[in-house]
Chain A
Amino acid sequence: QVQLQESGPGLVKPSETLSLTCTVSGGSISGYYWSWIRQPPGRGLEWIGYIYFSGSTNYNPSLKSRVTILVDTSKNQFSLKVSSVTTADTAVYYCARAYVWGTLPTGYYMDVWGKGTTVTVSS
């Protein structure tokens, strides 16, 4: 059974870069899409972006200028970087597998989630 685990610093200073890693266990990262989603305190879910195991990406336009998602198939990991963070980036960050459904357009839903990691932006 595939499991995901987020890791990274819980505190980041304003204007710095937030960096998180998601480790995939119990299955291969190959053949799937992998996503990041965040949830500010007391609020709803926001999709950040996804990456295919081959390295192709798609980002939320609202965050695209500050976000980079990378994959390392040798380590069965993918990662998230958000640059120039502000307090508005304080949230629980989840990694998830984005399962493909449908064609024209292709649809994606998240069928396996990590437990989430809290990132606070504060000086």
Chain B
Amino acid sequence: DIQLTQSPSFLSASVGDRVTITCRASQGIGSYLAWYQQKPGKAPKLLIYAASTLQSGVPSRFSGSGSGTEFTLTISSLQPEDFATYYCQQLNSYPALTFGGGTKVEIK
């Protein structure tokens, strides 16, 4: 399987901060990466697919970049509603779709 390693696992930040989360793949995956946001007790919500394409309706303060083995999710100015856990997912289903371990963003 393709393993995804997210860093950091936990992040403490303030409203207005610029936040960057990294996802590293165990082998090259081109642009086959998505990012999700999950709030407590809720289902994940798709933010970005194809590494950098913003899903419809997602605020433009979210952006994604990278290709191959290293990817980043950036929140340009953290808002109160952005405090959540973020997951990356690689899109190749052979042998299995896989997710990163998650990054929890909490209020400083």
B-contacting residues of A (Cβ < 8 Å)? Answer: 35, 44-47, 50, 58, 60-62, 94, 96, 99, 101-102, 105-111, 113-116
User: Does B102 contact A44, Cβ atoms closer than 8 Å?
Assistant: yes
Partner of B45, one of A62, A105, A113: A113
> What DSSP secondary structure best describes chain B's contact surface?
loop
- Bound together, the chains give a CA A94 to CA B45 distance in angstroms of 12
Interface range on chain B (Cβ under 8 Å from partner): 20 to 34
User: Does B100 contact A44, Cβ atoms closer than 8 Å?
Assistant: yes
Partner of A47, one of B32, B55, B96, B100: B96
- Residue B3 lies at the interface, judged by CB distance under 8 Å to chain A: no
- Residue B46 lies at the interface, judged by CB distance under 8 Å to chain A: yes
- Lowest 7 CB-CB distances: which A-B pairs, in order? A107-B91, A113-B43, A109-B34, A47-B97, A45-B99, A60-B96, A109-B49
Known contacts A102-B50, A116-B43; A109/B99 CB under 8 A: no
Cβ-closest chain A residue relative to B94: A105
